[in-house]
Amino acid sequence: MARVFIDHKLGFGSIFKRVKGDTVLANLYIKFKGKEYPVGSPRVKDAERLLCKLRGDFLHEDRQRQKGVKRVVLVSELFDDLLSDYREKQRATLQDAGGYINNHLAPVFADMRCDDLATPDVKAYVRQRLKEGAKNATINRELAILKRAFRLGYTHYPPKVERLPHIEMLPEDNVRKGFVVEEQYRALRDNLPPYLRPLLVVAYHVGNRKGELLGLLWSQVELDAEPPTITLWSGTTKNKKGRTLPIYGEMLDCLREQKRLRDQKYPKCAFVFHLDGQPLQSFRKAWATACKKAGAEGLLFHDLRRSAVRNLTRAGVPRPQAMAITGHKTESVYVRYDIVDFQDLRDAAAKMERFHDGQRQPEHL
């Protein structure tokens, strides 16, 4: 049967009338998605209304079909999202996370579907890493990356994963208990090469992290102020908060001599601690050699931080002030750094003995 088209609705469908012989029928029809539908009315508005309804029904059904089609998300996509998140937030651990992913996690998990990853897969990974000789603490750092990646996918909108796999951590006993007593500190200072001695002195007295010291500039040091101070700018510390450190005792003479030598030999060097005018990088070998000569083999530079915490406590510095100097955000971590040695125990025993002696009443004969 012939047709007379009335209107085309921008590709959504068309409105027409049928022709019977030489007569054009009054009622309208529409054509939508290859099918014809009678409108039952000669009014164009009625035809448009039906066309809109059919289009709306089609779009609704299409959306329902799309919901049933699930996009496949691989674990590699979660790893990419995690590294992007670390870059955006300027995480100091970005490089470490990339190493864990590229060297260990990605070869095992990257090509897996997120929905397919299960607890047995994680346990098999842990067994393999233990077999390779990895420590529990190292494996836990890797598992933490995997957990974080899935958490980001779970909280993403729309969600990239529908469930979080159970990832159980291994037990750790890696809390270091090393610290430096005064005699060891002096022996270590005397055995270090001259360019490392100022670094040792400052770390021992105020407990800076190594990264904070290696990046310290002379513009942050006020030797002639009252009192002399070191200012750590916001964003340059681990917790991104700035803080001010006191310069006292041996620190003051040491830093003044360091500045005198800098002004004399390397006036363009902006770094407080340097080697021949160049920023310090790794000094592991020189440190290990000095520790061995000083009878403190195995001592880590970070142990100086524990030593500073211990000395601040024993000097009677109130904990809030001590934490402001060392940069600890929580008391639990600060207390963990406060190491007790045998001399502390002897001092405590002597104090308690004097206390109890004073409490005892003389016996009456």
The confidence score (pLDDT) of residue 248 equals 86
Task: Indicate the pTM of the whole model.
Answer: 0.54
Count of CB atoms situated within 10 Å of the CB of 38: 12
Per residue in 131-150, pLDDT tens?
999 999 899 999 999 999 99
DSSP codes joined into one string, 215-267: T-BGGGEESSSSS-EEEEPTTSSTTS--EEEE--THHHHHHHHHHHHHHHH-T
Domain spanning 182-340 has what CATH number? 1.10.443.10
Where do the structural domains in the chain lie, given as residue ranges?
Answer: 2-61, 75-155, 182-340
The answer to whether 3 and 15 are in contact (CB under 8 A) is: no
Q: Yes or no: is domain 75-155 CATH 1.10.150? A: yes
Tokens encoding 225: 């102020």
The answer to whether 153 and 85 are in contact (CB under 8 A) is: no
The confidence score (pLDDT) of residue 339 equals 47
Per residue in 253-271, pLDDT tens?
999 999 999 999 999 999 9
Among 26-35, 237-246, 285-294, where is mean pLDDT lowest?
A: 237-246
CA–CA gap between residue 256 and residue 272 (Å, rounded): 11
